[in-house]
Amino acid sequence: MVNLGIKIHELDFKNPVLTASGTCGFGEEIADFFDLSLLGGIVVKGTTLKHREGNAYPRMAETPSGMLNAVGLQNKGVDNFISNIYPRIKDLETHIIVNVNGSTIEDYVALTERLNELEKIPAIELNISCPNVKEGGMAFGISCVSAEAVVKAVRKAYSKTLIVKLSPNVTNISEIAKAVEGQGADSVSLINTLLGMAVNAESRKPVLSTVTGGLSGPAIKPIALRMVWQVYNAVKIPVMGMGGIMNATDALEFMIAGASAIQVGTALFIDPTIPVKIIDGISEYMERHKIQSVNEIIGSLQC
Amino acid sequence: MVNLGIKIHELDFKNPVLTASGTCGFGEEIADFFDLSLLGGIVVKGTTLKHREGNAYPRMAETPSGMLNAVGLQNKGVDNFISNIYPRIKDLETHIIVNVNGSTIEDYVALTERLNELEKIPAIELNISCPNVKEGGMAFGISCVSAEAVVKAVRKAYSKTLIVKLSPNVTNISEIAKAVEGQGADSVSLINTLLGMAVNAESRKPVLSTVTGGLSGPAIKPIALRMVWQVYNAVKIPVMGMGGIMNATDALEFMIAGASAIQVGTALFIDPTIPVKIIDGISEYMERHKIQSVNEIIGSLQC
Amino acid sequence: MKKTVTDFLLIENKQLNKDNFLLVLQSPVTVSDIFPGQFINVEIKGSPEIFLRRPFSVLDVDYKKQTISLLVKILGRGSKKLTEAQPGETINAIFPLGKSFTLPDNKDHILLIGGGSGVAPMLFLSKTCQLNPANVTVLIGARSVSDHIDISEYQSYGMFYFTTEDGSLGEKGYVTDHPVFSEQFNLYNKIYACGPDLMMKAIGRKAIDEEIFCEVSLENMMACGFGVCLCCVEDTKTGHKCVCTDGPVFNVNDLKW
Amino acid sequence: MKKTVTDFLLIENKQLNKDNFLLVLQSPVTVSDIFPGQFINVEIKGSPEIFLRRPFSVLDVDYKKQTISLLVKILGRGSKKLTEAQPGETINAIFPLGKSFTLPDNKDHILLIGGGSGVAPMLFLSKTCQLNPANVTVLIGARSVSDHIDISEYQSYGMFYFTTEDGSLGEKGYVTDHPVFSEQFNLYNKIYACGPDLMMKAIGRKAIDEEIFCEVSLENMMACGFGVCLCCVEDTKTGHKCVCTDGPVFNVNDLKW
Ligand SMILES: Cc1cc2nc3c(=O)[nH]c(=O)nc-3n(C[C@H](O)[C@H](O)[C@H](O)COP(=O)(O)OP(=O)(O)OC[C@H]3O[C@@H](n4cnc5c(N)ncnc54)[C@H](O)[C@@H]3O)c2cc1C
Ligand SMILES: Cc1cc2nc3c(=O)[nH]c(=O)nc-3n(C[C@H](O)[C@H](O)[C@H](O)COP(=O)(O)OP(=O)(O)OC[C@H]3O[C@@H](n4cnc5c(N)ncnc54)[C@H](O)[C@@H]3O)c2cc1C
Ligand SMILES: Cc1cc2nc3c(=O)[nH]c(=O)nc-3n(C[C@H](O)[C@H](O)[C@H](O)COP(=O)(O)O)c2cc1C
Ligand SMILES: Cc1cc2nc3c(=O)[nH]c(=O)nc-3n(C[C@H](O)[C@H](O)[C@H](O)COP(=O)(O)O)c2cc1C
Ligand code: FES
Ligand code: FES
């Protein structure tokens, strides 16, 4: 038997395959398709302090090997999460990680403090990279100064594993990664979506209500892979990789480039059972290559 | 008959469809496939002051709806261009634009001065965005300060139409566009390739000899379209759009978002006759929508 | 039944007219409890331009044969490609998805209005509710007789009326021009509709005005189809609701129409 | 002839063994002057994972019937998909591409060595050069007899020898283990080879050592196939050369082997 266990900071994961925020709901929505306890973890829907309606419809455009979304963090707010959702999902036998969003540093901190109290949430993913909101979101993640400020404040409020999710819409992602590492982030996850746009040539109108949206799916995989490799070489904390992962080979490419764990996002829309296929595929690869522990794969790129 | 003519600075183009640098050689290589005089223009292969061998093989990786390249500006240098190639292509009835590259500002200037003498080259495209060279290239295009410096120097040396080609690998492309506009650029063209990477999971090696390379093709279209729209709204000079254009609908989307002209790149590898199909498709669209002049389409996005 | 990702076998693909096809899918898993308004989300292979699945309403289910049929109208690249599939091919789909119409009972007088491919759930509903045919009126709109699909299989479930934009079949004009709609609307106590947005809004508004129960099935663009992406939302009186899980069927009173 | 982008009609697709297929393409334009070593760049549709064309050597041309045949060996996703094409389908290809082998004349004693799908240009060469068969030796390597393709059509153009890695046909081992290679190499004044890199390098180095004329056909990865992308380069003594336009055939003396 191969060993699929990995560690992010002090947290042990049974395997390196998680589902990405905003693409798996709270887990429950995909529970029909497979046994959720097979997963390394679930990063639940982006959560904010207060209820958010999100952006107007249309929020989606299909693009070559990918899609744009402009959901804009629709969610019922942290109170609803704590009272209604947390009790239902807290006993799932997999790590539940909450994706944390805010418009101001105070928002981030207030939300984090609430989550810090939840026994069965061992980690948060601090989203400083959402391209679909007018205030906050990506704005925090595209400069070292603001990224440092928000991570510093949240770090004080949060005692468990703090993962910071980075934006790819920057000139130098390694710098941002180093900045958040410097403020005590336990891990970085990347990439969030790339800012894109779709136009309907017949109507001469934008396809999305917000004009621009976030690009995800296989189209962005080469960019994500490059950024994971750059960040892996720049920081000491573990990296979670994502962006267009559709199968075990993709997942392995990210791990070879330096990801300690990977997240499956848009692929779930195509086939929600893909995470299980990836876990099996990684095992099969390890057996074929006689690799005992998945940790041997992480950052094993020969170049 | 619809009017396809557009203007970039003082230069009239018979139509807004050009072929992109590095994807059409010097035009001659695709002359078998269609009459080159049908084109609005041809942006020839990236040229440097001195002969360059480019990067080692492998230089290419196929990716979902796109490809990575790491050619690294292989070319025989400007002397060879002037003595051997220019005489053969100068009388083509389309605008020949030379893509100008350098490792230092002095290189850029020296090369530009040589090209300024060539009567039948009405414009240059200053490439400050090549991701595949160790020195210069993209480094100039990712900060306002260095972009300004190189454009300022080249502007002094060049009296004809100066197009500056921007890198998408930046946090804020509008700022860079404004910076080069401020130094006298007559037009900006975008986007060059996005920095990406491919890994062979079986061998655990990078696919490209240079590890990272430039991503092009339909995969990047949503990002290119967004950047063209942002830059169009930020500057007064005309914008040339490119990135994943495969057909007339794609081309129209770029023009609606603000491009005065478009360049066809990677699509040529799939089908070198695509530029002609695009020209025909734009005419057909204009007839269907009762649009007299293609200029009415430029920046016509309703949002 | 539980949602599953299933490889169906395409056993029939019949062109009904220029743009409409009937696809019959054989299920390898037991099919149970599929109701009108529910849909399945179909993977469409073979084109680099099609990345996402495409949702299609269930037109009919044969629980004995374990088949599901769909009415596919060619609109763009996905529907086009799907209609080119050959019997014997595997078609992967996620099903069953969405909430169904509220089934009427035998005290009800119902009016079903379908436009374009929106006919599918209406036909399924007419068959499923098993009312006295005299209490079931079905009004179907199409552009022309050549776009109209043969409904003889469903004829016995209700009284059928037609409109075509060019007058080539039934009343000339839109469904909203038909006397059943313009004059007899309030003879019904339950209205069900599926079709183009403008048609559904016209029906919905009239139902709201006349305070008649009315449910419509929306076709917002979807990425996932099972409630995780939040892309398919409709703005309702209680906020953004997912068409794929809270719908596709909505009571018009809940919508901001 | 001029390069064109042409819609061919696939008129035959014959599985030769587990991984090898013979595809015959009917040309709508006049085919003329195609020489061994030249290739065509085939568009492969139907998979979002295949973005670029795939180059295939010409295996044979029938100028009367205006057909081109290819030998396609399944290696990955593109070759796999192509072998699934059905007669009657359109196959788009850019052709003719690349430079051919230097044709021998009837004073020459030639040795042709093919491995894997590299057999294709060797068979075409054996047929094209029309020498005295006694002066033409063809050595073909495969993994096993089951990977070996039937060459009876070409039998009369030369003397054929085989190697297989498992010894199931001909000599056991690689082509370089065959006596024709290890003992009689210098009986030939022209050597031609196409196959896996390692095989070609072994042949090339021996030819360089023994100062025998030797041309090899390289299979570097290509994006365009007609000289514009500069992705397919081979590092030669005179710098990077495009395999698609300066090659695929190179004299080994020009290579850095
Ligand atoms: C719940 C539900 C049930 C459906 N049931 C059926 C059915 O029974 N039969 C049937 O034929 N179709 C049905 N559809 C529509 C179907 O899923 C596809 O959207 C339709 O076939 C167009 O896809 P395409 O790939 O052919 O078009 P594309 O090439 O993707 O698009 C063509 C054009 O149509 C527009 N478009 C695409 N999808 C939609 C949409 N959902 N709403 C508005 N505009 C759109 C695009 O913007 C584009 O302008 C249903 C949709 C939903 C959401
Ligand atoms: C001039 C030329 C002539 C050719 N002639 C023939 C022929 O007659 N018959 C034939 O079957 N094939 C021929 N090939 C190879 C063919 O073009 C494809 O490369 C091959 O079929 C693999 O493509 P694929 O899509 O199946 O593999 P992919 O799925 O793209 O790749 C599978 C694996 O093979 C590797 N690979 C792919 N292409 C190459 C390559 N060109 N060189 C090295 N590694 C590669 C990939 O990196 C990957 O690891 C020729 C290639 C060239 C350049
Ligand atoms: C519809 C949709 C909603 C998303 N919502 C969130 C979110 O709430 N928070 C977040 O950090 N990332 C969000 N993302 C980004 C994904 O988690 C992921 O970073 C990105 O999509 C790239 O991975 P992928 O290509 O595998 O999808 C969302 C992505 C999609 C497609
Ligand atoms: C193989 C290759 C070589 C290229 N060489 C150059 C170059 O020399 N100079 C340059 O400015 N851009 C170069 N580019 C970038 C293209 O001109 C274009 O900006 C980019 O590919 C995006 O457009 P596309 O998606 O239509 O190809 C090259 C692109 C490719 C694929
Ligand atoms: S389509 Fe994803 S939530 Fe409805
Ligand atoms: S494949 Fe493009 S130059 Fe050879």
Closest alpha carbon to B98 in B107, B114, B106: B114
* pLDDT tens digits in sequence order for chain D, 257 residues long: 899 999 999 999 999 998 999 999 999 999 999 999 999 999 998 888 899 999 999 999 999 999 999 999 999 999 999 999 999 999 999 999 999 999 999 899 999 999 998 999 999 999 998 899 999 999 999 999 888 888 888 999 999 999 999 988 888 999 999 888 888 888 999 999 999 999 999 999 999 999 999 999 999 999 999 999 999 999 999 999 999 999 999 999 999 98
Residues paired with D12 in a beta bridge: D24
Ligand 4 binding pocket includes B20 (Cβ within 6 Å) = yes
Q: E strands within chain B? A: 6-8, 11-13, 17-19, 41-47, 60-63, 66-69, 95-100, 123-127, 161-165, 187-190, 194-197, 199-200, 205-206, 212-216, 239-241, 259-264
3-state secondary structure chain A: CCECCEEECCEEECCCEEECCCCCCCCHHHCCCCCHHHCCEEEEEEECCCCECCCCCCCEEEECCEEEECCCCCECCHHHHHHHHHHHHCCCCCEEEEEECCCCHHHHHHHHHHHHCCCCCCEEEEECCCCCCCCCHHHHHHCHHHHHHHHHHHHHHCCCEEEEECCCCCCCHHHHHHHHHHCCCCEEEECCCEEEECEECCCCEECCCCCEEEEECHHHHHHHHHHHHHHHHHCCCCEEECCCCCCHHHHHHHHHHCEEEEEECCHHHHCCCHHHHHHHHHHHHHHHCCCCEHHHCCCCCCC
Active site residue B130: yes
pLDDT-based confidence at residue A133 (cuts at 50, 70, 90): confident
Taking all residues of chain A, what is their mean pLDDT, rounded to a whole number?
96
Distance C75 CA to ligand 1 centre (A): 7
Query: Three-state SS for C249?
Result: strand
Contact criterion met (CB < 8 Å) for A169 and B169: no
Q: Report CA(C224)–ligand 5 centroid distance (Å).
A: 5
The pLDDT value recorded for residue A137 is 74
The reply to whether C48 touches chain D by the CB within 8 Å rule is yes
Q: Are strands C233-236 and C239-242 parallel, antiparallel or unpaired?
A: antiparallel
In terms of DSSP H, where are the helices of chain D?
77-83, 119-129, 179-182, 197-209
H or E stretch including D193? strand D190-194
Q: For residue A217, which residues of chain B lie inside 8 Å, CB to CB?
A: 64
The pLDDT confidence band at residue A131, using thresholds 50, 70 and 90, is confident
Residues B30, D228: C-beta atoms closer than 8 Å: yes
The residue type at D84: E
Q: Please indicate whether residue D229, judged by its CB atom, sits closer than 6 Å to ligand 6.
A: yes
**A186 phi, psi to nearest 5 deg:** -90, -20
User: Which whole number is the average pLDDT over A150-169?
Assistant: 96
From the CB of D231, is ligand 6 less than 6 Å away? yes
Chains that touch D (3 or more CB pairs under 8 A): B, C
Task: Flag if D46 and C51 touch (Cβ within 8 Å).
Answer: no
- Tokens 């003329």 identify what position? D32
Taking CB atoms and a 6 Å cutoff, what residues make up the pocket around ligand 3?
A 20-23, 45-46, 69, 71, 73, 99, 127, 130, 165, 192-193, 216-217, 220, 242-245, 265-267; C 229, 231
**Mean pLDDT within B217-221:** 98
- pLDDT at position A130 is 80
What is the tens place of the pLDDT at every residue in B10-28?
A: 999 999 999 999 999 999 9
- Written as six digits, the tokens of A122 are 């061992």
One-letter amino acid of B130: C
- Segment B228-258, tens digit of pLDDT: 999 999 999 999 999 999 999 999 999 999 9
Helix or strand holding residue D213 (H, E) = strand D213-217
What is the pLDDT at residue C59?
A: 96
Q: Is D139 helix (H, G, I), strand (E, B) or coil?
A: strand
Helices of type H across C42-95: 77-83
Whether residue B25 and residue D50 make contact (CB cut-off 8 A), yes or no, is no
- The least confident of B80-84, B271-275, C185-189 is C185-189
Determine whether the interchain pair B211/A229 forms a contact, defined as Cβ–Cβ distance below 8 Å: yes
Q: Is D222 in the pocket of ligand 6 (CB under 6 A)?
A: yes
Q: Is A63 part of the contact surface with chain C (CB cutoff 8 Å)? A: yes
